[in-house]
Amino acid sequence: MTTPIIECRNLQKWYSGVHALKNVSLTIHPGETVGLVGDNGAGKSTLIKILSGVHHQDAGEILIEGREVHFRSPKDAMHHGLETIYQYNSMVPTMSIARNLFIGREPLKWKIGSFGLMDQKRMRQESVQAIADVDLHLRSPDALVGELSGGQRQGVAIARAMHFKSKVLILDEPTNHLSVKETNKVIGFVRGLKAQGLTGIFISHNMQHVFQSCDRIVAMARGEIVFDRPTTETSIDEVHDLL
Amino acid sequence: MKRFLKIYLDKPELAGLALLVILIAVFQIKSNGILLSVENIRGVMGLLPEMALVAIGVTILMICGEFDLSVGSVFALMPMSIAVMLNGGVPFPVALLLGLALCALIGFINGYITLQFAIPSFITTLGMLFIARSLTIVISGGFPPLLPDNLPTWLFTDYIWQGSILRMSFVWFVVIAVLAGAFLSLTNFGNWIRATGGFNEAAASMGIPVKRVKIVCFMLCSMLAGFAGLLQVLRLGSPLPSIGEGLELQAVAAAVIGGTALAGGIGTVFGAIIGTLLIRTIDNGLVLSRVDANWFKFAIGLLTMFAVIANAWMAKMSRKIKVEAHK
């Protein structure tokens, strides 16, 4: 058996008296696409926020590729190859695609410490390449993200994660507020992760979307994992009944 | 052609520039050619750098999604603090550095309170508007202290050479404007400012220290306002406690007229300068055309509203052009 890419052991989290995560353990292997489902308040978001470095667990440990990690910020998580795409979309609409792709990780031509002049030519060239890599066809890296459709934006976010060689892509309700056509596009992206050698965690309310794109279903309820099975051995009805 | 039109529509400051050219032409005729006379330009160019520096600071802060109403008061407090220090025997370079440090501290407090207590910067800096103005009058002791006459005005406000149109303050303004423009559009920190103002959550999720970015912008804004105030005091030769009153809103108006979005994320240094130039031209042009000077604020108000509506319209048209080009 390969080393799990993510291993959570007995994670606990309290929010001002609410026990949001109760002893959650979850092991994910490289190349898996895991669908994480559950009702509002089931603990999905809490788990994801801990994995993406936004919050910290109160107890328990996280191992990435067998080594224990402590994320203090989203940047730490990104350094370890975990990138999260949020439902509200992690793109800045008033900025160009090229600039968006490199927010916080701008290539610098010249620098003092961590500040310096951006290599804008390289940003443009690499963003064209990154977008083409996810089969998205956009006319110009200088177009504003605000001019893109919701599905295209998620595509650019995924292109960004791939460009920075993320190992694990966490998609937090990426299909919310999208039209059917756009949703299909995003589901296509999620399905394509495996071919690119990426591990995916896909959080959604929508069972259809998860079953269409993931090879393992994990369900949470009241802060615990209550169900964990390969997609081929279960059905939407079974998971529905459970929740 | 369409491509060209789209680029034009995406840059509201260019519309401001066009308006500026038209206004200059109109006022030039109405004032019988006085507007563009050397003497008049000399007068306008004395005030312009001071206003523009404040507008640049306010614009940078607005791009990162915050607001500063205290710039007018800081404009007065900084030179007043320097005057008091000079009278206490502190040498000018030291007083200058301490004055700038005071501005940085005010900016820091504005930012820290705004972010720490999650209150709108509109409120924090409204408070600071009163506090800084009050401090200015208190430390002045009721009437303006005299400035020593050995100050290095040659470095700040004297005419560049005998009989030149421009003062040294114009050089400071150009240098700072170029640096600020480059800072915003060429550096990674500039990218962070735009990202923070454009969509705070997204910037934070990409690991940008949004709070620190905002605090730096607050500090820059206050320091530019204070420095501009110093230029004005050195030009006038006396630190009046009342200078800069109403300047905060003129600076916001200049930023908005130059295409800066109140919501953050959008704006340019060039736009701020165009906005300031427009305001100065209207002020000066109305006087020269013998229009009742009280119409000045009316015109600025009208222009501000017009600019915001025009910007929104232009952004919409620009998006439409994109859709058509796709078909």
Q: Which domains does chain A have, with CATH numbers?
A: 6-93+165-242 (3.40.50.300)
Quote the radius of gyration of chain A (alpha carbons, Å). Answer: 18
Whether residue B1 is predicted with pLDDT greater than 80 in this model: the reply is no
pLDDT at residue B322, rounded to an integer: 57
Backbone dihedral region for residue B91 (phi beyond 0: left; psi -120 to 50: alpha; all else: beta): beta
The CATH number of whichever domain residue B61 belongs to comes to 1.10.3470
Q: For A51-72, what is the mean pLDDT?
A: 91
Q: Is B234 helix (H, G, I), strand (E, B) or coil?
A: helix
ipTM confidence score = 0.83
Whether residue B9 is predicted with pLDDT greater than 80 in this model: the reply is no
Give the separation between CA B49 and CA B26, rounded to whole angstroms: 23
pLDDT at residue A16, rounded to an integer: 82
Q: How many C-beta atoms surround the C-beta of residue A225 within 10 A?
A: 21
Q: For A162-168, what is the mean pLDDT?
A: 87
Q: For B280-296, what is the mean pLDDT?
A: 89
Which helix or strand (DSSP H or E) is residue B188 part of?
Answer: helix B188-198
Q: For A33-40, what is the mean pLDDT?
A: 89
Q: Is A71 on the interface with B (CB under 8 A)?
A: no
Burial class of residue B38, CB neighbours in 10 A (0-12, 13-18, 19+): exposed
pLDDT digits (tens, 9 = 90+) for A89-108: 678 999 999 999 999 899 99
Long-range contacts of A114-119 (CB under 8 A, 24+ apart): A114/B188, A115/B187, A115/B188, A115/B189, A116/B187, A116/B188, A117/B186, A117/B187, A117/B188, A118/B186, A118/B187, A118/B188, A118/B191
Nearest one of B81, B191, B52 to A116, comparing CA atoms: B191
Whether residue B172 is predicted with pLDDT greater than 90 in this model: the reply is yes
Q: Which residue of B has its CA nearest to A119?
A: B186
Q: For A233-242, what is the mean pLDDT?
A: 84
CB-based contact A11:A57 (threshold 8 Å): yes
Chain B residues with beta carbon closer than 8 angstroms to that of A93? 198-199, 265
Contact A92 B191 (CB under 8 A): no
What percentage of chain A exceeds 70 in pLDDT?
A: 99
B126 alpha-carbon distance from chain centroid: 17
Domain range for B160:
2-326
Contact B322 A116 (CB under 8 A): no
CB-based contact B57:B225 (threshold 8 Å): yes
Please tell me the least confidently modeled range out of A37-41, A118-122, B84-88, B243-247. A37-41
Q: How many C-beta atoms surround the C-beta of residue A12 within 10 A?
A: 15
Backbone torsions φ then ψ of A27, nearest 5 degrees: -120, 130
| CA count, 13 A, side-chain hemisphere, A35 | 28
Give the separation between CA B283 and CA B285, rounded to whole angstroms: 6
Q: Is B188 on the interface with A (CB under 8 A)?
A: yes
Q: Which two three-digit tokens encode residue A39?
A: 């009702």
Whether residue B47 is predicted with pLDDT greater than 60 in this model: the reply is yes
CB within 8 Å of chain A, chain B residues 269-298: none
Interface test with B, best of A95, A105, A160 (most B CBs within 10 A): A95
Q: Is B3 on the interface with A (CB under 8 A)?
A: no
| CA count, 13 A, side-chain hemisphere, B295 | 10
Give the separation between CA B133 and CA B241, rounded to whole angstroms: 8
pLDDT at residue B326, rounded to an integer: 43
CB within 8 Å of chain A, chain B residues 101-120: none
Whether residue A35 is predicted with pLDDT greater than 50 in this model: the reply is yes
DSSP 8-state secondary structure symbol assigned to residue A30: T
pLDDT at residue B144, rounded to an integer: 79
CB-based contact A160:A100 (threshold 8 Å): yes
The shortest C-alpha distance from A179 to chain B (Å) reads 18
Q: Is B4 helix (H, G, I), strand (E, B) or coil?
A: helix
pLDDT digits (tens, 9 = 90+) for B101-145: 999 999 999 999 999 999 999 999 999 999 999 999 999 987 778
The shortest C-alpha distance from A172 to chain B (Å) reads 12
pLDDT at residue A1, rounded to an integer: 60
pLDDT digits (tens, 9 = 90+) for B61-103: 999 999 999 999 999 999 999 999 999 999 999 999 999 999 9
pLDDT digits (tens, 9 = 90+) for B186-215: 999 999 999 999 999 899 888 899 999 999
What percentage of chain A exceeds 90 in pLDDT?
A: 36
Q: Are strands A199-203 and A33-38 parallel, antiparallel or unpaired?
A: parallel
Share the mean pLDDT of chain A: 88
Please tell me the least confidently modeled range out of A199-208, A234-243, B38-47, B312-321. B312-321
pLDDT digits (tens, 9 = 90+) for A121-162: 999 999 999 888 877 878 788 888 988 888 888 888 888 888
Please tell me the least confidently modeled range out of A23-37, B32-46, B99-113, B136-150. B136-150
DSSP string, B53-83: HHHHHHHHHHHTT---S-HHHHHHHHHHHHH
Q: For B285-313, what is the mean pLDDT?
A: 88
pLDDT at residue B221, rounded to an integer: 98
Whether residue B327 is predicted with pLDDT greater than 70 in this model: the reply is no
DSSP 8-state secondary structure symbol assigned to residue A96: B
DSSP string, B106-120: HHHHHHHHHHHTT--
One-letter amino acid of B56: I
Nearest one of A3, A71, A39 to A222, comparing CA atoms: A39
pLDDT at residue B325, rounded to an integer: 45
Number of domains in chain B: 1
Give the separation between CA A220 and CA A140, rounded to whole angstroms: 41
Contact A92 B195 (CB under 8 A): yes
Task: Choose the closest CB to A106 out of B188, B201, B266.
Answer: B188
Q: For A56-81, what is the mean pLDDT?
A: 91
pLDDT at residue A5, rounded to an integer: 92
Q: Tokens 């078909």 map to which residue?
A: B327
